[in-house]
Structure formats: structure tokens, C-alpha cells
């Protein structure tokens, strides 16, 4: 403590570079600060520090650490409380550049495994970024002293040292409940569960917060199930969606897409008060959409698309600019290659010619002239040959009644089970369209990504870098992830960028494994070593990382314009 104070006084008013001398570790009364990285100038990315708090000063109960799930929720809870305390302090005046800034990787509505707070065996680590104070380009030692000896202690005092055990306990209970719901889903072959009372719509297109005054979810009787949960007396009731093919129909603006979006996000767990805290979807569910203009590298889309004009091969389809239908076919095939067991599709973001082709069009345009086998002709094969389920929003075509196991109608934001009615309609209004019926092979796509594909430039310091939620810079090229809708947190994107760098450094692509087993390996590393495994410097501030799913990792590899595959 004394040492840091002395150092800061010594370098006060000197050129900013002199800050480098404070790199190292300093003991404070209840914690230690580890200055892992010190920025080179006031406008560079901020310095990285870790606060290490021994359990003696903020006891973390053993039972909170007993499962990975609980551990993640406790860490998440602490990260939120630190973020809140930082905001409360933020009204302080600041110097030039980013000086005086204190930042933690603040969680959004989802509870993700992230590096911001790490609960270890006998200590808790809080990872922060700070902008070391400057006047112009000179060190402002007094402000720095205030930052480390007044502001930071106050932030910690009102967050980690102030949280009551009962508050943390609540997060732990939610962790247990989420696990219990997932177990029940598995036991009963449910793809999704949407609790009664859930609030599905969001405040706006750019906000992930619940819409106020929304109509709460109310399950249709035919789908209503009850789940007994730990830490809760009343059982939870809600709608279960079974494996198979489920159709969501209904008039425009009646809440179809909102339900599907809630299901898309249900692969993650949400905080209490989000409205979707009891909306859960199979972890292997992948949103499929049309994504015109995306890069495609050697994907076998022949199950859906054949005989393109000019004889372009579709068993190894490659393009820098896919169309609506070819991009959607690619997204289906790639999702299955990566291990998806459920596909989520919305008509709003689909290519019509990929989804449907009615009898009249079949009569006019002969099969031989149409490269596309529409999804409607594959959806049953996906279910029966590959055990891949589909939940599909389709308000515009009744052709799907023929293939649906269940039909849910949204009416004024309330779901009704109209499966029997839809069956009747199929009987009374048969359609004469001709289905296509070849089998699907489970190994329709099995690519091996080759090492030079990353094409990183030697000698450059930051070769791979996440620029935003949907953009990764890699050497001279960018990877665009706008179409990857289940990527929800920029820290996941950062983790993927770090992972790309890690794979390059460790020569992992050289092992020549098929994508699916490569993803298995990556998940194993994250399970065993945590996200820190991908950080460039072991045992230091790992950067602000959150765990991505295997599907979003695959999505990134799949969209690299420089990818080469075998």
C-alpha cells in the first residue's frame, strides 16, 4: 500500500510511460491489487488490474462453489454488484482520455460464464480495467492516488464487501432451479419450457429488457406441465414443447416472432426479473435464418439445392456471396454439422423459396428446372433420419400442416393448441403438392478446417481482435457475424477471437480433426480450465471474456473469408 502511494508520488507529473513502473502486486487491507497490464498512453486501451480477495475477508460458502452452475451464478451476482457500485461512483470528475475510468465487464440480462469475477478455492478475483489518470500526456499522480486509495476501496466496500449472504443465496437458488428444469426437460423429451407468467416481449428492438405492461404468457391446456422446483413451494406451470416438428401460427402482430425469439434466447439463462427467467430451450437449439451475402466454404448443401445454373457444384458449395436460399440451406447444414438437435426458424427471416413451394408452382416450374428442394420436404427426414427437431413460425402457408406434429396458434399474445383443427383442415383441404423423399445422411457435411486458414500475419501484436458483438478483425480481413443471432454478448465475441488466436498458437487446426470433434475439444478445454485457458498471459487479467456456445464458435469459423477446408 505504502509502496504504491510512494510510487505514484514519485511519478506525478512525469511522462505517461513512467506509469509502467507500477506494474506488479500491492497488498491492501482486505485485498491485493495485481497491476497486470499498464497502458502506454492515456488514449490506449485501459490498464488491466485484478483485485484478489481472500475468503477470509469475503467468505464464499463451500456450498456456493459445489457445482459449476452455482459458481457461475455467484460470480455473476458479484460482477453485477461491482458494476452497480462503479456506476454510482462514476459521477466523479475525470481527466483527459480514458483517465479515471473504472470498468468491469458488466453482465446483461443473461447469466453467462465470464471471466470478470472468478470464484476460486480460497479467493475471489475481480477483473477490472482502469484508465490511469493523466493531465494531457503527463501522469496525474494525485488523481491516481485517489483512484486506488479512495474510489476503488469505496466501490469494493459498497459491492463485494456489502453483499449479504441472503442475496447471493437467491442467485444460487436460481442456479439450482435452472438445472432442475433442464433435467426435467431431458427426462420428458421437451425441447423448450415457457413458464406461465413469463414476459416474452422486449422493451424495444435494441433493448433486451422486458416490455412493461406486456401480456404475461399463459400456457395452452394441452401443453401445460408442472415442474417441482427446489427452493420453491408451488410447482412451476407452463408450456412444454416436445421433440418433433412444432409450428407456431397466427395472425400478423399476434406475438409469433416474440415467442420464437424468447426460445432462441432460452439457450441461455436469464436473471430474475427478466421475464424469461423460466423460459428455457434445449442447449443445442440453433436459430436458422437466411443470410444473403455471407461467405460459404465448401458446404454440402445438395440435400436442399442441386443443379445450380452453370453447373456449380453443391456438394462442396463455396461462395463469397450466398443468396437467401443458399445461405439458409448452408446455415441448416452447418448447424447440424456442429451438433444442433433443434432448429428454430422464423418466416420473417427466411427465404420464401427455401421454405415453401406450393402445388401450383410445382405445376408451372418443373422439378428439373428448380434447384431447390424446399425445407418442407426435408423437415420430416431431419426428424426421422437425424433426430433433429424444428420449431417453426409460419403464418403464411398452411402446407406445413401436413408435416407438423403440433400446431400452436398465437392469438392476442396467447398460445392455443390447434393441432387437431389443423389435422382436420389437412383432411378436408388436401394439397396435391409432391413431396421429395430421399433419405438424409447424418454425415452430409464433415469438414476439416486447415491450419493456414486463419492466415494471421506474423509479427503483428494483435492479430485477432473482436471489434464489436458482430465483428472480428483477423489480420487484414473481418469476420461478419450479424446473422449469428444467438451470439448475445460482446464478451462472447472476444472469447471467440481469443480462441482463434489460441488455436493458431497451439497448432490445433494442424491436428486435422473434423469440425465437430474440434468443437468437442474446445468445449472440454473450457469445461476443465475455464475461459482463462484462451487468454494470452496465464495467471493474469484474462480480458473480458464470456463463454460462447459451440454453435457460435462454429459460425465464426464458417464465416471466415480466408478459411480453407479439406
- Per-residue burial over 98-118, b if 16 or more Cβ lie within 10 Å, else e, is bbbbbbbbbbbbbbbbbbbbb
Query: Hey, how many other C-beta atoms are within 10 angstroms of the C-beta on 273?
Result: 10
By beta-carbon proximity to ligand ADP, the closer residue of 279 and 545 is 279
Report which of 351, 409, 349, 356 is spatially closest to residue 379, judged by C-alpha positions.
356
Q: Tell me which of 39, 47, 99, 258 binds ligand ADP, using CB under 6 A.
A: 258
* Count, residues near ligand ADP per rule CB under 6 A: 15
Among 184-192, 252-260, 443-451, 498-506, the segment contacting ligand ADP (CB under 6 A): 252-260
H/E stretch holding 181 reads: helix 165-187
Interaction between residue 254 and ligand ADP (CB under 6 A): yes
Among 215-223, 252-260, 398-406, 494-502, the segment contacting Mg ion (CB under 5 A): 252-260
**Least distance in Å: CB of 202 to ligand ADP?**
7
Residue written as cell 466523479? 92
Based on C-alpha coordinates, what's the Rg of the chain?
Answer: 26
Q: Tell me which of 23, 228, 253, 321 binds ligand ADP, using CB under 6 A.
A: 253
Interaction between residue 257 and Mg ion (CB under 5 A): yes
Residue 471 C-alpha cell reads as: 465483428
By beta-carbon proximity to Mg ion, the closer residue of 27 and 412 is 412
Q: Tell me which of 70, 256, 501, 549 binds ligand ADP, using CB under 6 A.
A: 256
Interaction between residue 177 and ligand ADP (CB under 6 A): no
3-state secondary structure 31-52: CEEEEEECCCCCCCCCEEEEEE
Among Mg ion, ligand ADP, none, the one that 258 touches (CB under a kind-dependent 5 to 8 A) is ligand ADP
DSSP letter for each residue of 345-408: EEGGGS-HHHH---HHHHHHS-GGG--B--GGGTHHHHHHHH--EEEEE-SS-GGGGGT-SEEE
Interaction between residue 349 and Mg ion (CB under 5 A): no
By beta-carbon proximity to ligand ADP, the closer residue of 200 and 404 is 200
Are 281 and 441 in contact, with CB atoms under 8 Å apart? no
By beta-carbon proximity to ligand ADP, the closer residue of 39 and 349 is 349
Report which of 362, 359, 378, 383 is spatially closest to residue 437, judged by C-alpha positions.
378
Where helices occur in 47-114 by DSSP H, the ranges are 68-89
Interaction between residue 215 and ligand ADP (CB under 6 A): yes
Among 40-48, 150-158, 211-219, 553-561, the segment contacting ligand ADP (CB under 6 A): 211-219
Binding mask 353-392 toward ligand ADP (x if CB under 6 A, else -) reads ----------------------------------------
- Per-residue burial over 25-42, b if 16 or more Cβ lie within 10 Å, else e, is ebebebbebbbbbbbeeb
Interaction between residue 201 and ligand ADP (CB under 6 A): yes
Residues that bind ligand ADP (CB under 6 A): 200-201, 211, 214-215, 250, 252-258, 410, 413
Applying CB under 5 A, the residues found at the interface with Mg ion are 256-257, 348
Amino acid at each position: 500500500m505504502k509502496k504504491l502511494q510512494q510510487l505514484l508520488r514519485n511519478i506525478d507529473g512525469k511522462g505517461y510511460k513512467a506509469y509502467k513502473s507500477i506494474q506488479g502486486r500491492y497488498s491492501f487491507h482486505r485485498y491485493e491489487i495485481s497491476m497486470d497490464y499498464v497502458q502506454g498512453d492515456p488514449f490506449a486501451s485501459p490498464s488491466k488490474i485484478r483485485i484478489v480477495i481472500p475468503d477470509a475477508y469475503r467468505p464464499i460458502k463451500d456450498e456456493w462453489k459445489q457445482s459449476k452452475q452455482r459458481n457461475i451464478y455467484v460470480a455473476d451476482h458479484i460482477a453485477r454488484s461491482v458494476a452497480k457500485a462503479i456506476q454510482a461512483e462514476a459521477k466523479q470528475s475525470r481527466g483527459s482520455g480514458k483517465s479515471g475510468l473504472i470498468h468491469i465487464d458488466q453482465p446483461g440480462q443473461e447469466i453467462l460464464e465470464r471471466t470478470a469475477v472468478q470464484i476460486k478455492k480460497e479467493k475471489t478475483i475481480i477483473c477490472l480495467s482502469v484508465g490511469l489518470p493523466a493531465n494531457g500526456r503527463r501522469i496525474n499522480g494525485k488523481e491516481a492516488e485517489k483512484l486506488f486509495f479512495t474510489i476503488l476501496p469505496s466501490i469494493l466496500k459498497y459491492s463485494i464487501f456489502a453483499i449479504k449472504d441472503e442475496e447471493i443465496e437467491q442467485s444460487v437458488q436460481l442456479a439450482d432451479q435452472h438445472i432442475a428444469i433442464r433435467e426435467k426437460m431431458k427426462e420428458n423429451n421437451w425441447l423448450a419450457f415457457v413458464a406461465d407468467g413469463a414476459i416474452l416481449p422486449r422493451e424495444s428492438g435494441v433493448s433486451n429488457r422486458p416490455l412493461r405492461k406486456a401480456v404475461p404468457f399463459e400456457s395452452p391446456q394441452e401443453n401445460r406441465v408442472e415442474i417441482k422446483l427446489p427452493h420453491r413451494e408451488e410447482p412451476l406451470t407452463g408450456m412444454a414443447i416436445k421433440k418433433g416438428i412444432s409450428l407456431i401460427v397466427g395472425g400478423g402482430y399476434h406475438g409469433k416472432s416474440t415467442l420464437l425469439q424468447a426460445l432462441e434466447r432460452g439457450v441461455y439463462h436469464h436473471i430474475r426479473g427478466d421475464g424469461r427467467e423460466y423460459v428455457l430451450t434445449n442447449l443445442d437449439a440453433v436459430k436458422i435464418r437466411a443470410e444473403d451475402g455471407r461467405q460459404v466454404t465448401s458446404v454440402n448443401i445438395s440435400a436442399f439445392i442441386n443443379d445450380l445454373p452453370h453447373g456449380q457444384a453443391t456438394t462442396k458449395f463455396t461462395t463469397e456471396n450466398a443468396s437467401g436460399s443458399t445461405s439458409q440451406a448452408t446455415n441448416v447444414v452447418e448447424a447440424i454439422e456442429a451438433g444442433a438437435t433443434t432448429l428454430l426458424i422464423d418466416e420473417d427471416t427466411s427465404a420464401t423459396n427455401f421454405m415453401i413451394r406450393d402445388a401450383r408452382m410445382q405445376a408451372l416450374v418443373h422439378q428439373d428446372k428448380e434447384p431447390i428442394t424446399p425445407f418442407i420436404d426435408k423437415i420430416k427426414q431431419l426428424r426421422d433420419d437425424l433426430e433433429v427437431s424444428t420449431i417453426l413460425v409460419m403464418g403464411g402457408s398452411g402446407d406445413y400442416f401436413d408435416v407438423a406434429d403440433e400446431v400452436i396458434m398465437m392469438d392476442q399474445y396467447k398460445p392455443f393448441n390447434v393441432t387437431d383443427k389443423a389435422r382436420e383442415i389437412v383432411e378436408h383441404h388436401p394439397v396435391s403438392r409432391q413431396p421429395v423423399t430421399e433419405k438424409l445422411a447424418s454425415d452430409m457435411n464433415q469438414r476439416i478446417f486447415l491450419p493456414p486458414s486463419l492466415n494471421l500475419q506474423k509479427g503483428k501484436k494483435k492479430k485477432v481482435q473482436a471489434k464489436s458483438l458482430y465483428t472480428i478483425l483477423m489480420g487484414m480481413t473481418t469476420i461478419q457475424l450479424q446473422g449469428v443471432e444467438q451470439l448475445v454478448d460482446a464478451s462472447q465475441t472476444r472469447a471467440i477471437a481469443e480462441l482463434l488466436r489460441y488455436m493458431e498458437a497451439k497448432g490445433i487446426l494442424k491436428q486435422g480433426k473434423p469440425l465437430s470433434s474440434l468443437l468437442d475439444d474446445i468445449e472440454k478445454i473450457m469445461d476443465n480450465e475455464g475461459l482463462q485457458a484462451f487468454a494470452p498471459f496465464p495467471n493474469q487479467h484474462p480480458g473480458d471474456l464470456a463463454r460462447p456456445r459451440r454453435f457460435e464458435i462454429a459460425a465464426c469459423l464458417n464465416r471466415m473469408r480466408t478459411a480453407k477446408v479439406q
